[in-house]
Structure 1
Amino acid sequence: MKYGIIGAGAMGYRYGVMLQENAHVEVDFIDTWEPNVEKVRQQGGVSVARDHQNRQIIPINIFYPEEYQGHPDIWIIFKKQMQLVEELKRDSAAGIFHKDQYAFSAMNGMGHFEKIAEYFPAEHIICGTAMIATRLDGPANVDFMGAEGSEEMHVAQYIGSEPNIVTQKMMADFKEAILNPIFATDYLGMCMSKVVFNAVVNTLCTMFEVQMGQFIEYEGVPDMARQLFNEAYDACERAGIYLIETRQQEVDSVTAASHAYKYHYPSMYQDFSKGRPTEVDYINGFIAELGRKNDYVCRTHEFVTQQVHLAEKMRKYH
């Protein structure tokens, strides 16, 4: 299988490099951020470290959409939710999408699969979630957080409950890449499990500008997590969505992941700290909207969403 990465950022680099180096498959990277593309070309690849150690240049093929002539079997899409619509428009206009291709994405938040479905048949869309921490420290400069083999991810069909032949081949490549894929039969339950996790860890670490290890030092974190999880689970159940983890498993995962990635700043904080908009509307905001649509008010998620937007607004004074 040949892969094309749309969005050579933290997670795009993580998946692409691990597929290329561990599974030994052909990978091309597509990106529109000029400093990133030019830095790769200048230094002969992407600079990769793991937990700040053993940094090395990994040679990769990177292209702007308009100059790309390749034909991957699967596009792996990792863009910020706010950038996805324009990215897909530009890629489509460049003629890089073809009817026989599949699209996989494990982006944070919700709403991206509906956007991807405007360009790919629903049966060609593969959904994913990733419990994988990665930092982009600058153009063509990435840090894989966590020990090798600690990667954890889930895969589901956008349409159907069983993996088709392409998904099976992709999962075999992901396994060789040491991305540790697990198949789930229901993409909504799978995706919402990651959304509600991010609604605690990403959002609260961002609000208090701390690493995950610093966050978990506070003894009240499990109670805070439980309050947010209970609202989210209640909203999901009213919408007929059943998560792949129990409420207690979600609480336990906050503790486990925060210790495992203790030096990691979640992706929402990485955006916040660089003055970019955050994805809170696609995480806590999505949960709040889901609740409202089903006659349930997620008061804590609504308040937290407003708090993050307030913090974004107040950056101009610092």
Structure 2
Amino acid sequence: MKYGVLGAGAMGLRYGVLLQEAGFPVDFVDIWDDQINKVKEQNGVYVSRDGKDKHLVPINIYSPEDYSGNPDVWIVFVKQMQLDDALKRASHLFTKEQYVVAPMNGMGHIEKLDKYFAVEKVISGTAMIATVLNGVGDVDFMGKSGAGSMKLVNQNETPDETTHQISDDFTKANLNPEITTNFQGTLMAKVILNSVCNTLCTMFSIKMGDFIQAPTAEALSKQLINEAFDVCERAGITLLNTREEEWQAVKFASTVGMPLHYPSMYQDMSKNRPTEVDYINGYIYDLGLKYHYEATTHDFVRNLVHLAEFSRAK
């Protein structure tokens, strides 16, 4: 199948480059003019792995207005707060036959995707894959080849032939996909993990491996996990993990999976870009309010991240 990647940032580049290297045709579409211009100027994107073996990989990149291709599947990796604009600008490229895969951080993207794609063709998921955008036209794949994993889940919770074909293609690209059939439970499990690792590491400018060594890491993690599980139980969402398994997932990601990784939220803050905390901790808090429950710790850390954004801007 042919893939179109909407959003050529760190994760979009990793997925697209790995699929391209596995033999699949891939086009990149972005709304970031600096990225488009730099990639065109240098005839590709520079790719490293753990800061080593930097080399140029030729890719095709376009703005939505300049692209005329027709991919079978769109892969969307756009920041939540930029997604509306990106989808509007690319809307003339979407057809009723196309599928969309969006393993994005946070929540809020599904409602936006549903405006342009049939529900049965919307696939979301999670990506436990660490990648860093060093700068325009320069990306670093963290971990050895084949590191990381992901989950794919259909919005209608019914995997079809195309879903399995996408999974097979992703397997060939070393993305290690697993198909699940619990839509909300799959997405919220990653939101909860991000609400711990992304947010706390960002607030204190530390790597995940440093965070997990802190004497208070378990207590802080479990307080956020327990509140999030309380929200999901009231919302009728059955999560993939138990509370203890979610804590173990935080430990594994921080000690084995991505110990040397600064989460994407930190990467945004360090470059004075808005973070996605409103779509992670803020989403958990807002969801709780719908069911008469206040996840006050999530609201507190969400506001602390905004305070950190403010202080950096000052």
Which residue does 1:40 correspond to in 2? Answer: 39
Distance, in Å, in 2 between the alignment partners of 1:219 and 1:144 is 30
Which residue does 1:6 correspond to in 2? Answer: 6
Distance, in Å, in 2 between the alignment partners of 1:127 and 1:53 is 31
Once the two structures are superposed, residues 96-148 of structure 1 have per-residue CA deviations (whole angstroms, 9 ceiling, x without a partner) of 11121111101100010110110111111111110111101111100111222
Which residue identity lines up with residue 300 of structure 2 in the other structure? F
Once the two structures are superposed, residues 206-261 of structure 1 have per-residue CA deviations (whole angstroms, 9 ceiling, x without a partner) of 10011112212212211211110000001001100011112111111212111232
Once the two structures are superposed, residues 29-69 of structure 1 have per-residue CA deviations (whole angstroms, 9 ceiling, x without a partner) of 00121111111112121111111111111111111111111
Which residue does 2:20 correspond to in 1? Answer: 20
Indicate the SS of the match to 2:65: helix
Give yes or no for the alignment of 1:207 onto 2:203. yes
Which residue does 1:65 correspond to in 2? Answer: 64
Q: Map residues 1-318 of structure 1 onto 2, 5 A cutoff.
A: 1-21=1-21, 23-92=22-91, 95-159=92-156, 161-259=157-255, 260-317=257-314
Indicate the SS of the match to 2:97: coil
Distance, in Å, in 2 between the alignment partners of 1:152 and 1:316 is 35
Distance, in Å, in 2 between the alignment partners of 1:303 and 1:177 is 40
Q: CA deviation at 1:262?
A: 2.1
Distance, in Å, in 1 between the alignment partners of 2:114 and 2:277 is 22
Distance, in Å, in 2 between the alignment partners of 1:71 and 1:127 is 20
Runs of 5+ consecutive residues of structure 2 not aligned to the other structure = none
Distance, in Å, in 2 between the alignment partners of 1:316 and 1:131 is 30
Once the two structures are superposed, residues 245-296 of structure 1 have per-residue CA deviations (whole angstroms, 9 ceiling, x without a partner) of 1211111121211123222110001111111111111000000111111111
Runs of 5+ consecutive residues of structure 1 not aligned to the other structure = none
Which residue identity lines up with residue 9 of structure 1 in the other structure? G
Distance, in Å, in 1 between the alignment partners of 2:135 and 2:178 is 31
Distance, in Å, in 2 between the alignment partners of 1:215 and 1:149 is 25
Distance, in Å, in 2 between the alignment partners of 1:14 and 1:249 is 28
Distance, in Å, in 1 between the alignment partners of 2:243 and 2:174 is 28
Runs of 4+ residues deviating >4 angstroms: none
Distance, in Å, in 1 between the alignment partners of 2:126 and 2:280 is 13
Aligned 8 A contact 2:272 2:313 in 1 = no
Distance, in Å, in 2 between the alignment partners of 1:32 and 1:82 is 13
- The two structures have a TM-score, normalised by structure 1, of 0.96
Distance, in Å, in 1 between the alignment partners of 2:147 and 2:58 is 24
Distance, in Å, in 2 between the alignment partners of 1:6 and 1:150 is 23
Cα 1:122–1:162 change in 2 (3 A) is: closer
Number of aligned residue pairs: give it.
Answer: 313
Tell me the C-alpha RMSD between the 2 structures.
Answer: 1.0
Distance, in Å, in 1 between the alignment partners of 2:138 and 2:313 is 27
Distance, in Å, in 1 between the alignment partners of 2:133 and 2:160 is 33
Distance, in Å, in 2 between the alignment partners of 1:316 and 1:49 is 30
Which residue identity lines up with residue 14 of structure 2 in the other structure? R
Distance, in Å, in 2 between the alignment partners of 1:243 and 1:137 is 34
- The two structures have a TM-score, normalised by structure 2, of 0.98
Which residue identity lines up with residue 32 of structure 2 in the other structure? W
